[in-house]
Each structure stands twice: as structure tokens, then as C-alpha cells.
Amino acid sequence: MNVVKKIISIVGVLIVVLLIVFAVVWVYYGGLTTIVFSNPKQGGEILVYKEVIGDYRKTGEITDEVYYALINMGIETYKGFGIFYDDPKEVDRSMCRSEVGCILEPSDANKISEIEKHFKVKTFPVGHYTSTDFPYKGTMSILIGLWKVYPAINKLKDISDKLYKEGPIMEIYNMQDSVITYRLCGDANLTKKMKSIKIKENKRNF
């Protein structure tokens, strides 16, 4: 009996420790962040990217590929990005389309012709886009952001047709400011020939 009690006691302690660790991680990586949308004028970024068809979970590898290739060219960037055109709940993961890479600093704009030998380059259209910011403190912030921000976008769709427009969603990973920006890119020119994202309803609140 004493052995059983000790085992139960140890298991109980482990569960408590795991719960505490989970709570600390959740809070540190932004789990308590309130999701607030705004509609400022933004855009104009110079995007260096690759077009990708496949599971979105692999896009981080592509971002790293672009980043290190630019480093080898003597170009340092501080923001990664992904533009995601399909909802994995509605499109097979192997067929999901995205554009993934890095945002070029304005001071390196004179190197575009050299960069275009290796990657696609375009300027993101300037406009008023509905967006929200989420703290970035590592990869875990990206995962928690998915759990918190996308349900909030879905709820925004239900309550405001003015702020929500169908289209791809852009994620910008700002390393200098430690912020992830989620931008709703509902622009007819941007979504031309692309299928709109339709994020399904769930019961998460924001």
C-alpha cells in the first residue's frame, strides 16, 4: 500500500508541475493576449519569396532558406512572412498554396535585380487592411497565435462584413519588434485567380 501511495503521490506532483509549466508557457508566449483588430493604411513592403504548394507546416523551412540565401548575398532581413491562400480544413494539405520568404529592407532595394536571379520579388499593395498584432517570442508564439487569432478572424467575419473581406491571410514575423502581424488581404487584385480562404466556425472566444 505504501508503494501505491508513493506512486500516486509522485504522479500527482508530476501533473501539478506539468500544469504549472503549461501555464507559464501559455502566458509567456502570448496566451493571455487580447485580440484587437484595426484597419490602418499599410503595405508597400518589398517581398522576396518562393511560391509553395504543400503543407503549411513546412513553410518555416522555406523562410529559413530565403533568409540564409540573402545573408550569403550580403543582405540581412529582419522580417519573415507568409501569405496563405487556402484553408487546410477545406483544401488537402498537400495542395495548399502560399508565398513565403522575407521582407527586404528599403536600404537594400537597389539589390533587387540580383535577388530576382534567385527568388521572386514583388511589392505588396498599399491599402487599408484589417489586421491584428500578437507577441512573438519564438515558435511557440506562432502556434498559440494560430489558436487565438484565427478563431478571432472567424468571429470578425460573422460580426463585420465591412472589416472582413475574403482573401488570403498574411503573417509577418517582425524579429526586431517581437511582433507577429496578421493581415487580412481581401483585395480583388491580390486574390485574382486564387481561391478565397473560408475559415470555419468554432467555439473559441477572443
Domain boundaries, the chain: 1-30, 41-184
pTM for the whole structure: 0.78
pLDDT at 77 over 80: yes
Average pLDDT, rounded, for the chain: 81
- The topology under which CATH files domain 41-184 is Multidrug-efflux Transporter 1 Regulator Bmrr; Chain A (3.20.80)
Tell me the pLDDT tens digit for each residue of 14-36. Answer: 787 787 776 767 666 666 678 88
Q: How far apart are CA 132 and CA 151, in angstroms?
A: 13
Distance (Å) of CA 43 to CA 4, 9, 21, 125: 62, 56, 38, 6
For the record, the C-alpha cell of 75 comes out as 543582405
HEC profile for 106-140?
Answer: HHHHHHHHHHCCCCEEEECCCEECCEEEEECCCHH
Q: How sure is the predictor about 167, in pLDDT bands with cuts at 50, 70 and 90?
A: confident
> 27 vs 37, which has greater pLDDT?
37
